[in-house]
């Protein structure tokens, strides 16, 4: 296959992402880098899900960290209080998140725009409040320990192990998302994003499609949350907090709404940048805010779409 054909094939994004995951460790001088990269992939997974909801279906969610929290605490409460194996709790967490998304989504997805934002905000806060208060189950504000994931005697510990787990899961999630977007459901969602009424007229079941994508994005977030908890060995209610939800939204918007690849870039920026900004000490927060503003002013469609558009224009 010629280089040109490769560059234009549909498999390029998949290959690119797999290449990144496989080749990146060659650049890592220490475990610290593995840890940061593992965190990037974990968040990127949640961001892909949120991007499906926000970028493709056009529904704002300011409480998505709530699902992160459900997944994270599922792998904590299950093993500690019920003695269940971690992998089962991970799946259970995803199932519970999906179920909660179904129950919460039915009523609130009828809301539009900022009203939906507030409703999802309320949902996220409710999850965080329950996690903080039910100390008997959740360990309260200081959180609880999460037993290590063990499968047939092999224990998943250490930054490099989790790098591979997170990275490969991200590749799978990435492929699934792209697949979804190119399927009839994906096209229906884009139609809904453009105009709900027109989509309705075309015979698309708007409510059901929106609910489907809400559930899918909840499951993505739940798996990411479970990974986060298992990796850290510790979980606190912050994982479901308002600031965490805003962080996820920022990753979606910065990377590029509607760009699955952008999800990865958004996660990279918001996980890696604070690490790099530590040299500025006192000014770290102010600089972070400034950088976010600058990115949005100059790359207003998000990093990946804006850069890609300017490169494509440049070529001509």
Partner 1 sequence: MAELLQFVFSGLTVGAIYALVALGFTLIYNASDIINFAQGEFVMLGGMTTVFVALAGVPLPLAALIAVIVTTAVGFALHRFAIDPARGASPVAGIMITIGASVFLRGLAQIVFDKRFHSLPPLFGSDPIQIGGAAILPQSFVVLGGAAIIVVLLRLLVDRTMLGKAVIATAANRLAARLIGVNTRHIVDFSFAVSAAIGAIAGILVTPITLTSYDVGTLLALKGFAAAMLGGIGSAPGAVIGGLLIGMTEALSAGYLSSNYKDAVAFLIILVVLVAMPHGLLGRVKVERV
Partner 2 sequence: MRAWQSITASAVFALCALLSTSPVSAQIKIGAVLSVTGPASFLGDPEKKTLEIYVDEINAKGGVNGQKLQLIVYDDAANADTARTFATRLVEEDKVVAVVGGSTTGATLAMIPVFEEAQIPFISLAGAVQIIEPVRKWVFKTPHTDRMACEKIFADLKSRNLTTIALISGTDAFGKSMRDQCVAVASKAGITIATEETYGPRDSDMTPQLTNIKNKAGVQAVVNPGFGQGPAIVTRNYKQLAITLPLYQSHGVASKQFIELAGPAAEGVRLPAAAILIADKLPANDPQKPVVVNYTKTYQDRTKQAVSTFGGHAYDGLMILVQAMERAKSTDAAKVRDEIEKTKGFVGTGGIVNMSPTDHMGLDLSAFHMLEITNGDWTLIPGT
Nearer to partner 1, 123 or 162 (CB): 123
- Binds 275, which of partner 1, partner 2, none (CB < 5 to 8 A, cut-off by type)? partner 2
Nearer to partner 1, 122 or 147 (CB): 122
Nearer to partner 2, 222 or 236 (CB): 236
- Per CB under 8 A, the list member of 107, 136, 153, 203 interacting with partner 1 is 107
304 touches partner 2 by CB under 8 A: yes
In angstroms, the CA 86 to CA 66 distance is 20
| Structural contact between residues 244 and 73, judged by C-beta atoms closer than 8 angstroms | no
289 touches partner 2 by CB under 8 A: no
Residue 248 has a CB neighbour count (10 Å cut-off) of 30
Site for partner 1 in 133-192 (CB under 8 A): 133
233 touches partner 2 by CB under 8 A: yes
Residues in the chain, total:
316
| Structural contact between residues 69 and 239, judged by C-beta atoms closer than 8 angstroms | yes
- Pairs from 100-104 (Cβ < 8 Å, separation ≥ 24): 100/67, 100/70, 100/218, 101/67, 101/211, 101/214, 101/215, 101/217, 101/218, 101/219, 102/211, 102/215
Binding footprint of partner 2, residue count (CB under 8 A): 58
295 touches partner 2 by CB under 8 A: no
In angstroms, the CA 227 to CA 289 distance is 28
In angstroms, the CA 163 to CA 97 distance is 24
- Per CB under 8 A, the list member of 272, 287, 292, 296 interacting with partner 2 is 272
Strand residues in 99-168 grouped as ranges (E): 144-145, 150-151, 154-155
Strand partners, 144: 235
Residues in touch with partner 2 (CB under 8 A): 7-8, 10, 12-13, 16, 19-20, 24, 27, 29-33, 35-37, 39, 132-133, 135, 140-143, 159, 228, 232-234, 236, 238-239, 259, 261-262, 264-265, 268-269, 272-276, 278-279, 281, 284-285, 303-305, 307-308, 311-312
Residues in touch with partner 1 (CB under 8 A): 54, 60, 107-108, 110-112, 114-115, 117-119, 121-123, 125-126, 129-130, 133, 197-198, 242-243, 246, 249-250, 253-254, 257, 282-293, 295-297, 300-301
């Amino acid at each position: 296959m010629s280089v040109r054909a490769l560059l234009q094939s549909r498999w390029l994004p998949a290959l690119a992402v797999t290449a990144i995951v496989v080749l990146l460790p060659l650049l890592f001088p220490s475990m610290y880098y593995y840890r940061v990269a593992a965190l990037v992939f974990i968040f990127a997974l949640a961001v892909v899900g949120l991007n499906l909801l926000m970028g493709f279906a056009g529904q704002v969610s300011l409480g998505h960290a709530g699902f992160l929290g459900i997944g994270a605490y599922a792998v904590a409460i299950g093993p500690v209080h019920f003695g269940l194996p971690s992998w089962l709790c991970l799946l259970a967490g995803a199932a519970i998140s999906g179920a909660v998304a179904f129950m919460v989504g039915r009523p609130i997805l009828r809301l539009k725009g900022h009203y939906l934002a507030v409703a999802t905000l309320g949902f996220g806060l409710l999850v965080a409040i329950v996690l903080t208060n039910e100390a008997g189950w959740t360990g309260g504000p200081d959180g609880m320990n999460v037993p290590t994931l063990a499968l047939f005697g092999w224990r998943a510990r250490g930054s490099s192990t989790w790098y591979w787990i997170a990275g490969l899961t991200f590749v799978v999630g990435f492929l699934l998302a792209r697949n979804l977007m190119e399927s009839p459901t994906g096209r229906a969602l884009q139609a809904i994003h453009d105009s709900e009424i027109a989509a309705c007229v075309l015979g698309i079941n708007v409510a059901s499609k929106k609910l489907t994508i809400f559930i899918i994005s909840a499951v993505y977030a739940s798996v990411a949350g479970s990974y986060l908890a298992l990796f850290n060995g510790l979980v606190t209610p912050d994982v479901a907090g308002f600031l965490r939800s805003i962080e996820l939204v920022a990753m979606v918007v910065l990377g590029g709404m509607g760009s699955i690849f952008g999800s990865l870039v958004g996660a990279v920026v918001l996980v890696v940048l604070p690490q790099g900004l530590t040299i500025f000490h006192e000014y770290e927060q102010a600089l972070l805010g400034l950088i976010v503003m600058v990115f949005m002013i100059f790359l207003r469609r998000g990093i990946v779409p804006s850069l890609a558009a300017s490169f494509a224009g440049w070529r001509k």
